[in-house]
Structure 1
Amino acid sequence: MLNYNKIAVLALATFVAFQAPVRAEDKPDAVVAKVGDVEIHQSELDLAIANLDPQLAQLPEEQKKVAALSAAIDVKLLATDATAEKLDQSAEFKKRMQYLADRELHNAYFKEHVVDTVTDEEVKARYEKEVAALPKQEEVHARHILVKTEAEAQDIIKQLDAGKDFAELAKEKSTDPNKTDGGDLGYFTKGRMVKEFEDAAFALEKGTYTKTPVKTDFGYHVILVEDKRDAAPPAYDQVKDQVRQLVMRDKYLALLAAAKEKSKVEITDATLRKSYDDANKQPQPGDAPAAVQPQQ
């Protein structure tokens, strides 16, 4: 079942892509083609381009214009014939046009009161709020030496005890592809490595190595932990677009809540009403899940 979180995300995916028509005061609305006596203006071509199928939208600019113009001409050709047959006078057509008009008004209202109102300051404040709410997550910077047998691993530990350099031993003895980097695995958090390896690495103190071989499905490991720290959240510039969508969703939910206060929603089908009510329980504005997680 769709929950309200998913509904809102799907709605945002549609609304963020909404393109306002070109306004007359922005530039002259030139005639780009004619179908009989019917003119196709630049503004209509712009709308056709904005509504191209996603695959066609990837075309080079000139090809995209041609595809959009072709679609606009096809529409005008058959729309003219449909009008001649008075299909625009049917009850079914009028119902559909009312629905489309309502949807476009909804989109225009969303753009006016949500998209155009979000400020960079709001997005930055939301990012800082999400970062502050994140639980601390430890990460370690480790190296390892991977060998096939326990005896080989025990011999490596003896050499380390005697003062051998870990990175040099990794280059010489390890079977792992990262041996050329001295077995360096970089920083990682829990959940990134197999359990046996992870348990051993996080149990070590900074600057120490395992005194007994660690067995995994890959073989036998000797692990050195070079550093421990709290994982850092992603930089603002990396996630600001996702955070902006969270801010927009909160504003959208607030608009809907206010609208529902003014207009009572009644659903006559009991089963459908229950499903609607269940889907609309959560989240409330301000309760959106965190968009920023510690870097992995």
Structure 2
Amino acid sequence: MISSSLRLARTSMLALFLAAGALAAPVMAQDAVPAAEAPAAEAAPVAPETVVATVGGAPITEADLSFAAEDLTQELSQMPEEQRKPFLLRVLIDMKVMAKAGQDEGMAETPLFQQRLAYLKDRALRRAYFADTIANSVTEEAVRAEYDKFVADFVPADEIRASHILVPTEEEANAVKTALDGGADFATLAKEKSIDPGAANGGDLGFFGPGMMVAPFEAAAFALTDVGQVSAPVQSQFGWHVIKLEEKRQSSAPAFEQVASQLQQQLLMATFDKTVARLMDGVAIDIPDAALKAAVDSQTETDAAGATAQ
């Protein structure tokens, strides 16, 4: 888990690219459109220089729409897809009109605007470098190689499938255990007596491993050794449980599709860290404020420690 605020800020670029579609998730074989279902002809891609509108003679292009989409990812995620392009175009029209007004009033010549322009240029170049040099290097083949390493290092753990009957008091739990010892059907009794939302399916909790349940419940469940065995009543913060062991197994590595996105992000961040370290090598950095320099150095060390721990 990365807690450094600096590292979180650096990963915001990753979030931007993932959300804006600059870095697509690995394409899985089953995601491909079967030949029988494929459209007869795909629409030709729209060229970035295609003009979608003019405002006072100034063009707005498809490229402009994509740039705006990068800046407005959060807003776009909250609206239907068919509304996004009109929304972006409306924003760009407003931008053109207000930019022209600012230009006419001489705002572009002020020192502060020139500083802002330099910052925006650096930001745009950083974004382009990230996309072209870093993001493009994280291919599906690279992600699959990471998955192969993950599978090779995977250590199976014990998992069990259990059902339970949850009641408010110890007295009721003892009565349930007595009924079960007398031959009552567990699933039927769960539907009749259990206050757990899963009672409708006989109290079945599915498979779970260590650390997934509250401690008293987990200890009692994993103490059961034989399939079909029923525990003595055990108390947790939710009430009193009577637990039945349904199945036992060893966990297996998740399928590629389940972890591809996570592995992709990890690989992207590792590539980002290595690239930045290479670019920073030999670069002189001077921070005159001693306190600020100490804080930056401390944050950088924390960031590096977080990257190493992954």
Which interval holds the TM-score relative to the shorter structure? 0.7 to 0.9
Question: As a proportion of its length, which structure holds more helix?
Answer: 2
User: What is the CA distance between 1:249 and its match in structure 2?
Assistant: 0.8
2:274 corresponds to which of 254, 272, 283: 254
Counterparts of residues 55-134 of structure 1 (less than 5 Å): 55-56=75-76, 58-133=78-153
Q: Is the 8 A contact 1:140 1:187 kept in 2?
A: yes
Q: Is the 1:118–1:248 Cα contact (8 Å) retained in structure 2?
A: yes
1:34 alignment partner, one of 34, 37, 54: 54
Q: Secondary structure at the match of 1:207?
A: coil
CA deviation map 1:12-50 (0-9, x unaligned)? 223445678xxxx96373433333333333433443344
In structure 2, the partner of 1:43 is 63
Amino acid paired to 1:245: Q
2:220 and 2:231 in contact (8 A); partners too: no
Residue 289 (structure 2) pairs with residue 287 (structure 1): no
Distance 1:170 1:28 in 2: 62
Partner of 1:242: 262
> TM (normalized to structure 1)?
0.79
Residue 221 of structure 2: aligned partner: 201
Partner of 1:8: 10
TM-score, length-scaled by structure 2:
0.76
Mapping of residues 219-234 of structure 1, within 5 Å: 219-234=239-254
Distance 1:15 1:288, change over 3 A: farther
Question: Matches of 2:20 and 2:193 in 1, distance apart?
Answer: 58
Instruction: Check the 8 A contact 1:3/1:280 in 2, yes or no.
Output: no
- Structure 2 unaligned residues grouped into runs of 5+: 23-44
CA distance 1:285–1:248, shift in 2 (3 Å) = farther
Deviating more after overlay: 168-177 vs 117-126: 168-177
Deviates more, 1:124-133 or 1:147-156: 147-156
Report how far residue 254 of structure 1 moved. 0.7
Distance change >3 Å, CA 173–CA 276, structure 1 → 2? same
Structure 2: how far apart are the matches of 1:9 and 1:83? 35
Structure 1 residue 100, shift from structure 2 partner: 1.0
Quote how far apart the aligned CAs of 1:97 are. Answer: 1.0
Deviations 1:172-220 (Å, cap 9, x if unpaired)? 5545443443332212233433332222111111325346332345444
3-state SS, counterpart of residue 74 of structure 2: coil
Query: Aligned partners of 1:111, 1:98: CA distance in 2, in Å?
Result: 20
Measure the CA separation in 2 of the matches of 1:269 and 1:243: 39
- Distance apart, 1:251 and its partner CA: 0.8
| Change over 3 Å in CA distance of 1:39–1:142 after alignment to 2 | closer
Listed one character per residue, the Cα deviations across residues 101-135 of structure 1 (whole Å, up to 9, x for unaligned) are 11111111111111111121211222333454455
In the other structure, the counterpart of 1:294 is: none
1:202-248 alpha-carbon deviations (Å, 9 max, x no partner): 11113253463323454443222122333344322122122111111
Q: Report the CA distance between 1:56 and its aligned residue.
A: 4.5
Moved over 6 A (4+): none
For 2:308, the aligned partner's letter is D
Give the aligned CA root-mean-square deviation in angstroms.
3.2
| Alignment partner, residue 265 of structure 1 | 285
Aligned residues: percent identity? 39
| Residue 192 of structure 1: aligned partner | 212
Structure 2 letter corresponding to 1:267:
I
Contact 1:15 1:110 in 2 (8 A): no
How many residue pairs get aligned? The number is: 285
The worse-fitting range, judged by mean Cα deviation, of 214-223 and 95-104 is: 214-223
Q: What secondary structure sits across from 2:235 in the alignment? A: strand
187-196 vs 112-121, which moves further: 187-196
